[in-house]
Amino acid sequence: MSTYDTATAPGDQRIRRALKLYVWNAEVASAFLVPLHLCEVAIRNAVADAIAAQYGPRWPWTAGFQHSLPSPARGYNPPADLANARRNTSSTGKVIPEVKFAFWQKMLTSRYDKAIWDHQLATVLPGADASIGVPALRTRVYDDLDRIRILRNRIAHHEPIITRNLSADLAAITDLVTLRCGDLSQMLTAAEHVSSIIPQRP
């Protein structure tokens, strides 16, 4: 409770107000689940479509794609993640939800510009302004995904998100969904409750 206590102004009933802030944090974190869900599915499907266009529908088992993956980085190992996701299935559709969020983010680096993004980024993200250029757009998507990944992990571990700019977090999520599909973006806007809970912060 120390994080919530510190964020609460001194005075009478400080503990009660800190507890209210704790509950509000849980409520707004819960409200983020729908936007996060739609965003993650939209972006992982976009990246998977781009990979399939270049490496074929069986890309999780294609040697060319496997060899393109970066060497294991500190804390995350893309080849091992993919190998684990492939285990006990022969369906690409079942592999896609099994790899970690970081896998999709790591695909949006410059190492894949020539092989994938120069040809596929505008196709899988039709809502993007093509005049931005591939490197700038890919970097923007990567950075937004990094922001969202951190938020997602804090929520998953029941950590405080009270110090974040939650309106900016929601805007980043909405922007990514809009890049992928305008109809899905409208659905997200109609379904989300984050924007109504943010002003209720105690």
- What is the mean predicted confidence (pLDDT) over 51-76? 92
What is the average pLDDT value for the chain, to the nearest integer?
94
- The answer to whether 28 touches 161, Cβ cutoff 8 Å, is yes
Q: Encode pLDDT of 132-171 as tens digits.
A: 999 999 999 999 999 999 999 999 999 999 999 999 999 9
Question: Which residue carries 């099994």 as its tokens?
Answer: 98
**Phi, psi for 44 (deg, rounded to 5):** -65, -35
**Phi, psi for 67 (deg, rounded to 5):** -70, -20
* Count of structural domains, the chain: 1
The verdict on residue 23 lying in a domain is no
- The answer to whether 103 touches 82, Cβ cutoff 8 Å, is yes
The verdict on residue 75 lying in a domain is yes
The verdict on residue 55 lying in a domain is yes
The per-residue pLDDT for 8 is: 80
The verdict on residue 15 lying in a domain is no
Domain span at residue 149?
33-192
The verdict on residue 109 lying in a domain is yes
In whole angstroms, give the CA distance from residue 47 to residue 57: 13
- The answer to whether 57 touches 67, Cβ cutoff 8 Å, is no
Q: Does the reported pTM lie above 0.75?
A: yes
